Chains A and B, each alone.
Chain A
Amino acid sequence: MLEVKDIVFDPEGSRRILDGVTLQIPDGKLIVLTGPNGGGKTTLAKVIAGINVPTSGQIILDGEDITALDPTERARKGVAFAFQQPVRFKGISVRKLLSLAAGRELTDEELGKVLTDVGVVPEQYMDRQVDTKLSGGEIKRIEIASVLLRKAKVMIFDEPEAGIDLWSFNNLIRVFEIIRDRRDCSLIVISHQERILSIADEIIMIQNGKVGLSGNRSSIFPRLLCKNECDDCGTCVRTEV
């Protein structure tokens, strides 16, 4: 169980980005964070991963306050984060990066499995470098694989669908469902994608740095799909800032 308690994030020289966000993310549930761009979703994910230090508030993982822990310590406690814009490395191979993620040297078979799960042909990618020669979609898949290999209590995927083709996307959906069904970790996916929203257990809108509409999929999803974008039709949720 991950608890986010009253998180405020006021970066120096900028407007307030998170304004008292409180969430409870139970194990075995797929939680989708959605909402308009600039609303604070990625910042919240980075606060959970320890990359951004909040101005106030607490992050509690399985009852332990991890707010003061740095990213390394949080990773070792079981927080895993897939970046929206993956980092590239000159000279580090896919094999090396994924072995670092797993905390041990992976066998070809283990690499093969995870690479297949994210929709790349293992033999063609294992020994390629994670550098600028990989396309946006390719590096995104490697990034997702780096999180799937962690022994995590919380997995956060920031817009995993970007740059992923339809075939791989279906695979990715299946992978998320498998993680959820294991029921041993909290799964948070930041997304605007209808297919991902459609498999969510709960949907949480983050808007203007606050939690907006939230609840189970069946209650929220139809409102997000309403195209009227008005405040008074009784169905839709207006997402414009």
Chain B
Amino acid sequence: MSDIAEKKIDKDTEELLKIVSGFEGKFEGAFNIRSNGGCLGRKSSENIKIESKTDAPGLDIYIAPGTRGERVFIPACVTVAGVDDLVYNDFHVGEGADVVIVAGCGIHTETGEPARHNGIHRFLLAKGSRVLYEEKHIGTGAEDTKKMIDPVTECFLEEDSYLEMDTSQLGGVSSSVRNTKAQLGDRATLVIKERLLTDNDETAQTRFSVELNGVDSGVNLMSRSVARGNSHQAYQSVIIGNNKCHGHSECDAIISDNGKVDATPELYANSGDAELIHEAAIGKIAGEQIMKLRTLGLTQEEAEAAIVEGFLA
């Protein structure tokens, strides 16, 4: 065991932890709290061991085979300007385990200096394991300070495993580049639900690249985003079907003000039995949706807010 006693958590960090990982003074389960490149506290459980890497900053999280119903929390916060935090976290999920991993990153800065968090996560799912991964990103504090979050995620799914990634970035992050790669074995399934909101001059790039190598493997990528102000988003999904498999990607974006969104799907069917689909829809909020809500008594602004809130929920 390598538990690290919890250090005093300042108000800004506590607020970020609450937003990104539902922190309410403590975590129920194994956890590691990363703050400004250091560790604010760590606790392993009987089935989930969290160890520091010896060759790089970051963690190895070992989830024992057969572990069921447990949650592990790995949030990261940056509250000091000028920090450029880089972390490598590897999740080793044992055969038949079924767990929830709650990650997320919050950046809060008040001065003019930029701050960055770059989390490189690897998910190694053994045969028959199931993981629900929840990740929230947010930037708070002074609007004119650059806050950058650039996650890199690599997923390796062995046969019959299932990974669901529920990610959201709901404002305040000046720029983000998200790069997610996955390789799936026989009957493995990957589901990704992404929610993205950008405003002002923010930029966000998302790139998914999924290789469906196993027979009857499948992926479902669903991205919903809203681009406001002068913000720009670029969505790219690459699905490569190398076997009898099914892949689906869906990009729905609402643009308002001068917001811009690009969507670039790429589908590669390298097997005659691959079934791959992409859907993309980009546009303003439909006028008829606003009108329906106005006939219920909402103002134009209230209607737009309700539609965006629901869309990104």
Complex CA gap A103/B298 in Å reads 9
Is residue A125 contacting chain B, with contact meaning CB distance below 8 A?
no
Interface residues of B in 261-296 (CB under 8 A from A): 286, 288-289, 291-296
Residue numbers in A under 8 Å from B312 (CB-CB)? 91
Interface residues of A in 51-82 (CB under 8 A from B): 51, 70-72, 74-76, 79-81
Q: Which residue of B lies closest to A76 (CB)?
A: B297
State how many residues of chain A have any CB contact under 8 Å with chain B. 26
Residue numbers in A under 8 Å from B288 (CB-CB)? 87
Complex CA gap A218/B163 in Å reads 65
Is residue B192 contacting chain A, with contact meaning CB distance below 8 A?
no
Residue numbers in A under 8 Å from B289 (CB-CB)? 87, 89
Complex CA gap A92/B307 in Å reads 7
Is residue A90 contacting chain B, with contact meaning CB distance below 8 A?
yes
Is residue A146 contacting chain B, with contact meaning CB distance below 8 A?
yes
Mask for B37-68, Cβ within 8 A of A = 1, else 0?
00000000000000000000000000000000
Verify A72–B224 contact, CB threshold 8 A. Answer: no
Is residue B5 contacting chain A, with contact meaning CB distance below 8 A?
no
Residue numbers in A under 8 Å from B292 (CB-CB)? 83, 86-87
Is residue B299 contacting chain A, with contact meaning CB distance below 8 A?
yes
Complex CA gap A66/B298 in Å reads 17
Complex CA gap A41/B313 in Å reads 37
Complex CA gap A18/B105 in Å reads 58
Contact for B295 among A49, A89, A90, A91, CB less than 8 A: A49
Is residue A5 contacting chain B, with contact meaning CB distance below 8 A?
no
Given the known inter-chain contacts A51-B291, A87-B288, A87-B289, please indicate yes or no for A101 contacting B310, CB distance below 8 A: no
Verify A70–B294 contact, CB threshold 8 A. Answer: yes
CB distance from A142 to the nearest CB of B (A): 11
Complex CA gap A70/B293 in Å reads 13
Is residue B306 contacting chain A, with contact meaning CB distance below 8 A?
yes
Complex CA gap A71/B287 in Å reads 13
Verify B296–A87 contact, CB threshold 8 A. Answer: no
Is residue A217 contacting chain B, with contact meaning CB distance below 8 A?
no
Is residue A150 contacting chain B, with contact meaning CB distance below 8 A?
yes
Complex CA gap A100/B295 in Å reads 10
Complex CA gap A83/B310 in Å reads 21
Verify B297–A89 contact, CB threshold 8 A. Answer: no
Verify B296–A101 contact, CB threshold 8 A. Answer: yes
Is residue B300 contacting chain A, with contact meaning CB distance below 8 A?
yes
Other A-B pairs, 9, CB within 8 Å; known A76-B297, A91-B307: A70-B294, A71-B291, A86-B292, A87-B291, A89-B310, A92-B311, A96-B306, A100-B296, A150-B296
